[in-house]
Amino acid sequence: MQVLDLQAKELAKRFGSGAPVFSGLEFSITQGDCVALVGANGTGKSTLLRCCLGLIAPDAGEVSLLGEKLTDLGGAARRALRARTGLVGQKHNLVPRLSVLSNVIHGLLGRHSGPRYWMQGLAPAEARTAAMATLTKVGLADLALRRADQLSGGQSQRVAIARALVGNPRFLVADEPCASLDPQAGEEVMALFMSLVKREGVTVLFTSHNVQHALSYGDRILGLQGGRIAIDAASADVTPKEMAQLYA
Ligand SMILES: Nc1ncnc2c1ncn2[C@@H]1O[C@H](COP(=O)(O)OP(=O)(O)OP(=O)(O)O)[C@@H](O)[C@H]1O
């Protein structure tokens, strides 16, 4: 039986008195799927991602994430649900003065609170072990004790991926994970990210302005245009012309 990890029903969002960013959005994501959300600048991709994770509330409609209706959840249940999800943003948002290892340990903060889970020296051994294992997966174990502000862009984004993965999330959102990287680093980071999420069986919703990335890494394409979903199809069935029309 197919398990739906995300269901969006009749979602609508506007900011202030502005025009609706989107309205009437309906889609679902099956467990283990990797879905690319695409569309021109300003079509509402980031806004939609944030609604899906419960970081902002839609004006209408509802989101069910990992079987839980976001509107039904109180603070504690919402935090528990957030601990089962991960987010990789356009900017890596690492804490510059902390080590790589501490930044990754920070990814466990949703599960535990307090300084023990922030500073590598104080974090319990299991947190450090989990963070080191995840750093090994992204190929950065050697840099564990380096300060985050001494990393290249590609290395920083790998650390951000490790931070998102360290708690073994079941659902991951990635908002243009390669936006700040040169083409070569972007390719490497994307390939690494996708191989890890596939290996771990994580459900992924990612955005990208790189049409090739969307088509090759996404099992499915969700295309936003004019506040509506213009494409919802397996990536193998989406033609280059349909993709181009999204940006026309
Ligand atoms: N906090 C906010 N307050 C007011 N307007 C906002 C806010 N966040 C986003 N918007 C507006 O909502 C619209 C959608 O923005 P959003 O960032 O979701 O688009 P996007 O598709 O992710 O864009 P891009 O591809 O450029 O990253 C834009 O017109 C933007 O100006």
As for ligand 1, residues whose beta carbon falls within 6 Å of it are 15, 21, 39, 41-47
How many alpha carbons lie under 13 Å from residue 137 in its C-beta half-sphere? 25
The predicted structure's pLDDT at residue 119: 66
The predicted structure's pLDDT at residue 186: 87
The predicted structure's pLDDT at residue 197: 87
The predicted structure's pLDDT at residue 9: 97
Low-confidence ranges of the chain (pLDDT < 70): 110-122
How many alpha carbons lie under 13 Å from residue 49 in its C-beta half-sphere? 25
The predicted structure's pLDDT at residue 121: 66
The predicted structure's pLDDT at residue 74: 85
Residue 40 CA, closest ligand 1 atom number: 25
Check the CA dihedral 191-195-197-201 and report its sign.
positive
The predicted structure's pLDDT at residue 113: 59
Q: 248 alpha carbon to ligand 1 midpoint, in Å?
A: 18
Q: What is the pLDDT of residues 42-71, one digit of tens each?
A: 999 999 999 999 999 999 999 999 999 998
Domains of the chain (ranges, CATH numbers): 4-246 (3.40.50.300)
Please tell me the residue having the least CA distance from ligand 1 atom 2: 15
